[in-house]
Amino acid sequence: MAYLELDHVSAHYPGAAVPVLQDISLRLGPNQLTVALGPSGSGKTSLLNLIAGFVSPSAGRISLDSQPVQGPGADRGVVFQDDVLLPWQNVQQNIAFGLELAGISRPAREARAQELLRLVGLAEFGERRVWELSGGQKQRVGLARALAADPRVLLMDEPFGALDAFTREQMQALLLNVWKRTAKPVFLITHDIEEAVFLATELLLLAPNPGRIVERLSLEFGRRFAEGESARTIKSDPVFIETREYVLSRVFSQQNTLEEAL
Amino acid sequence: MSSTPLALQSATARISEQTGWQISTRTISLLTAASLLLAWWAVTYFGLIDPLFLPAPAAVAEKGWLLATTGYMDSTLWEHLGSSLQRIGIALALAIVTAIPVGIAIGRNRIARGIFDPLIEFYRPIPPLAYLPLIVIWCGIGEFSKVLLIYLAIFAPIAIATATGVRTVDPARLRAAQSLGATRSQLIRHVILPSALPDILTGVRIGLGVGWSTLVAAELIAATRGLGFMVQSAAQFLVTDVVVLGILIIAVVAFALELGLRALQRKLVPWHGQGH
């Protein structure tokens, strides 16, 4: 059973002739980690914004468990590229913010926040102020906050784009572990080809003008990591390298803004 | 996790390095004040200026004691100070409870912006003393007129600062809260208002400064009690020591209000200037 479905969805910017996204259909189900990869202008951010409900489609249907999606909601947790934590709350309060909005009692909120802090490896950080955290730690808190209200799907908008290479690898590993443990469908957008190939169980290649899906790949590397294989073994596997080079060539061949993809 | 304490250590090391070989700004300020006081004492002690124009520091201090115990113009110094503080306190409280909602409305709502923006921008640049006569004609010379005048002076800076703060809230922060299930009113209460708080407090600081100068000026014209009134009536009888004393107290109160608000700002918005 698919949780989230997009059925021939298109989106326009007001006044623009070419649609940002044209005729997108996809399904996000449990145990799937769908990654949208594409150059800037290919509409991957718009795609995430559509699913999150920040913008509305101009055609087609988006539904979650057969219910149409209308506007943002707590059933779709979002992790943003930049940290959007609330600086007047400490780490634990930030994680429990969605629960506070939903009127959950304080003891229940704190217990849930503590559980998530352990999940993202920040068990000792609950009382910290958010501005004392490093970039990677902030993204961990962002992930914990998005998971706190137990959303049906997890949406991630270039979540590791602003991190250094070492932290990024740690975060990818953390994400795969969390994904395996929660079994939630994850939808992640990125312009990092290696990241996309490593994480995805379904990889969507997007092309611009108009934004559309040009290829879909089913991959196993993220799953293999989640089953316990090491990241280095996977990334030095000839199959991984071959896939990465293939995706790279596909991205090169269908777009002209190369810098973004590199 | 170890990078923060390290960065802090090196920052403090740099600061103490600097203070090691140069005197601090605060010391320079204190020395300036002390020099001025010394100069004041010297010119009066050696009789260079007639006490009618500038009484000696000791005479002013003595007069201060007299004012605090027996009073001037039927009221003690505390009563003058108290009524001035009461006026600005009431006006400030009214301005805060009205200007912040108006500022939020301007920042969030196109129609509210269309209504309030021109009104505020129209009256804000007018010196309050220019419309004081009109307020006196309409509302008389009672307490209400003075509070209204100060209220109007404080209202504009707070409303404008609030609107700016509300407009500049990071849109991603709003989206994040919406995707956590925030309703429109929760968004204002839990995200927009705290995000705008640094700007609101700056507005209150500016407003209070403007309000204090307006208050003293208003009391110069129509009052029977208050610091401005005390200075004005003393000037009419050439009681220069009371005039000097009144000016000093007005300055000290303004300075204390500013310091208090800065402390409040540090306490309420410690994240300000921390990259947020």
Nearest chain A Cα distance for residue B276, angstroms = 7
Give the whole-angstrom CA distance, residue B204 versus residue B198. Answer: 10
Measure Cα distances from A153 to A46, A132, A223 in Å. Answer: 17, 29, 18
Give the whole-angstrom CA distance, residue A24 versus residue A9. Answer: 5
Contact with chain A for residue B134, Cβ under 8 A:
no
**Residue B21 confidence (pLDDT):** 63
B62-268 sits in which CATH class?
mainly alpha
Size of interface A-B (CB pairs under 8 A): 74
Residue ranges covered by each domain of chain B: 62-268
Instruction: Supply the DSSP symbol for A89.
Output: S
Nearest chain B Cα distance for residue A122, angstroms = 11
Structure tokens, A90: 């400490």
A101/B181 CB distance under 8 A: yes
- On whether the CB atoms of residues A120 and A174 are closer than 8 A, the answer is yes
Chain B residue with minimum CA distance to A143: B176
Interface of B with A in 151-190 (CB under 8 A): 170, 172-173, 175-183, 186, 190
**Residue A139 confidence (pLDDT):** 93
Query: What digits encode the pLDDT tens for the residues A11-25?
Result: 988 877 888 899 999
Q: Which of A48, A49, A50, A54 to mutate to test the interface with B (most CBs of B within 10 A)?
A: A54
For chain A, the 3-state helix, strand and coil shares in percent, each to the nearest 5, are 40, 25, 35
B190/A97 CB distance under 8 A: yes
Contact with chain B for residue A237, Cβ under 8 A:
no
Q: Is the pLDDT of residue A202 over 90?
A: yes
Structure tokens, B168: 């500049």
Give the whole-angstrom CA distance, residue B255 versus residue B214. Answer: 15
Give the whole-angstrom CA distance, residue B160 versus residue B204. Answer: 10
Q: Is the pLDDT of residue A67 over 50?
A: yes
**Residue B182 confidence (pLDDT):** 93
Query: B239-257 burial by CB neighbour count: b if 16+ within 10 A, else e?
Result: bbbbbbbbeebbeebeeeb
Q: What is the mean pLDDT of residues A50-54?
A: 94
Question: Exposed/middle/buried for B26, CB within 10 Å: 0-12, 13-18, 19+?
Answer: exposed
The model's pTM: 0.82
Chain A residue with minimum CA distance to B270: A88
CA A211 remoteness from chain centre? 18
Give the whole-angstrom CA distance, residue B98 versus residue A196. Answer: 52
- Nearest CA to B256 out of B220, B219, B218, B205 is that of B205
ipTM score: 0.87
Contact with chain B for residue A123, Cβ under 8 A:
no
Domains along chain A? 4-75+155-261 (3.40.50.300), 85-150 (no CATH)
B3/A134 CB distance under 8 A: yes
**Residue A52 confidence (pLDDT):** 94
- On whether the CB atoms of residues A156 and A129 are closer than 8 A, the answer is no
Nearest chain A Cα distance for residue B268, angstroms = 9
Contact with chain B for residue A71, Cβ under 8 A:
yes
Mean pLDDT by 10 residues, chain B (276 residues): 46 51 87 94 89 88 88 86 94 96 94 94 89 89 90 95 94 93 94 94 94 86 85 89 91 93 90 66
Question: What residues of chain B lie within 8 A of the CB of A116, using their CB?
Answer: none
Q: Is the pLDDT of residue A211 over 50?
A: yes
> Considering just the CA atoms, what is the radius of gyration of chain B in Å?
24
Question: Exposed/middle/buried for A52, CB within 10 Å: 0-12, 13-18, 19+?
Answer: buried
Q: Is the pLDDT of residue A254 over 60?
A: yes
Question: What residues of chain B lie within 8 A of the CB of A74, using their CB?
Answer: 179-181
B181/A84 CB distance under 8 A: no
A239: left (phi over 0), alpha (psi -120 to 50) or beta: alpha
Question: What residues of chain B lie within 8 A of the CB of A55, using their CB?
Answer: none
Interface of B with A in 244-273 (CB under 8 A): 269-271
Chain A residue with minimum CA distance to B8: A132
Compute how many other C-beta atoms are within 10 angstroms of the C-beta atom of residue A165. 8
Q: Which of A86, A99, A134, A155 to mutate to test the interface with B (most CBs of B within 10 A)?
A: A86
